[in-house]
Structure 1
Amino acid sequence: MIAPSILSADFARLADEVAAVAGSDWLHVDVMDAHFVPNLTLGLPIVEALLKVTDIPMDCHLMIENPERWAIGYAEAGAHNVTVHAEAAREPVRIARDLRAAGAKAGLSVKPDTPLEPYLEVLREFDTLLVMSVEPGFGGQKFIAHVLDKVRMVRTMIDTGHLNLLVEIDGGINADTIEQAAEAGVDCFVAGSAVYSAADPAMAVRALRTQAANAAHHLT
């Protein structure tokens, strides 16, 4: 699965930029509040507007404080998957259950240096795990390879029946890094610059999907 990140799109032409990645599995929307991360992007009104112009499932990544208050609105608006950060969530289990009750899948994200072990039990309540392979807040950063240890841990737990969720990765994913992420056990790849800097973004999505599928048996 490839989820183009509109953080790398032209914000003045968002509807056109979304149309340019037709055929993508998910559309990744980075919501930042300038508190949890040092950047301010877009919020619920933009997500609601985008939902009217595309049928690509919306993957909302909330890099915000107090997700208990704000996350449910994205689910109620029609987002397919809503991800909150483990570092910001005071009641992650409650958030997961509320998101599911509102009709969305529930995702939990961890920063590159956040250990995964304290959240392994909590992950049983979630549908997706988003492993950050850059520090959250800005696009165009270099891929941090050591986070793949967390991916391998979770993939083993999935393969042995201890967890049942989709593994997503976000940060520095491109033609040079997607294969090692796929080999480690990732299911869904967020790609920003690698898609939107291409002459044909939709073709870039297809090429990345093929690369990932060829690199990992669990994706075929």
Structure 2
Amino acid sequence: MLELAPSLLSANFYNLKEDLSKLKKTDVKYIHLDVMDGNFVPNISFGPGLIKSLRPYTDLIFDTHLMIENPEKYVEDFVNCGSDIITFHLEATKHPHSLVQKIKSYGKKAGISLNPSSLEQDLVYLLEDLDLVLVMSVNPGFGGQKFIDSQLNKIENLRKIKEEKNYNYIIEVDGGIKSTNVTKAIESGAELIVSGSDVFKAEDLIDRVNEYYDIFKRY
């Protein structure tokens, strides 16, 4: 089933509680949390402290996307702050399989993210163990970028592998997604849609989320 994961990075940080309250009035089940360290990507966002402070105010699934170097050093921190899914980048660690197992050992779902330059073939030996594969359709680090259409082939290939092997990973897409272009990602095989500025910067957040779910109902 198609789901939307609004990206907190584009929310109103002056009043996050208000934005979360608005999401409560919609069908949204996920919130996407972009953690950036200023090293793996050229930007800094927030860490486990902020995530922990939000946890008491919502029962949304915390879809935590680690855009950080050596994520294995910080997994326990993100487990303890309330993350439900922990996704790291393939290039950020020397031992991705071990890190997947470590995340799962805490009872959390494990995902791996692919940059636009990353190859889905490099994930083949890991796919059976993954709960999620995140395809970045922009270069990670900043919101508001334009969707890179070449990533649609990557999504399609991941869908084919999933169907052929009967794997269970969710195919997530993040970057440049708007209600006006989301159908091409869906038709390629995306199942969990991350959208930031198009949701949180909309004139009416609730109406925009409902617009996405109206589109989802067509598939």
Offset at residue 213 of structure 1 (A): 3.7
SS of equivalent residue, structure 1 residue 160: helix
- C-alpha displacement at 1:210, in angstroms? 2.3
Corresponding residue for residue 121 of structure 1: 125
Given the alignment of the two structures, is residue 171 of structure 1 paired with residue 175 of structure 2, yes or no?
yes
Cα distance, 1:72 vs. partner? 2.9
Name 1:135's counterpart in structure 2: 139
- Tell which has more relative contact order, 1 or 2 (C-alpha 8 A, sep 6+): 2
Match of 2:106 in 1: 102
AA matched with 2:144: G
Q: Which runs of 5+ in 2 are unaligned?
A: none
Distance 2:207 2:75 in 1: 32
Aligned position for 2:23: 21
State the match for 1:75 in structure 2.
79
Question: Structure 1 CA distance, aligned partners of 2:97 and 2:214?
Answer: 35
Q: What TM-score does the superposition give when structure 1 sets the normalisation length?
A: 0.93
CA contact (8 A) 2:49 2:81 kept: no
* Secondary structure of the corresponding residue to residue 121 of structure 1: coil
- Equivalent AA in structure 2 for residue 110 of structure 1: L
The gaps in structure 1 that reach 5 residues or longer are none
- Partner-residue secondary structure (3-state), 1:109: strand
1:199 deviation in Å? 2.4
> What is the number of equivalent residue pairs in this alignment?
215
Secondary structure (helix, strand or coil) at the match of 1:16 reads helix
Match of 1:36 in 2: 40
Tell me how far 1:162 sits from its aligned partner.
4.7
Structure 1 residue runs of 4+, over 6 Å off? none
What value does the CA root-mean-square deviation take over the aligned residues?
A: 1.2
Query: What TM-score do you get using the length of structure 2 for normalisation?
Result: 0.94
Distance 1:65 1:77 in 2: 19
Distance 1:173 1:102 in 2: 31
Structure 1 Cα separation of the partners of residues 193 and 76 of structure 2: 24
Give aligned-pair identity as a percent.
Answer: 36
2:43 is aligned with 1:58: no
Partner of 2:4: 2
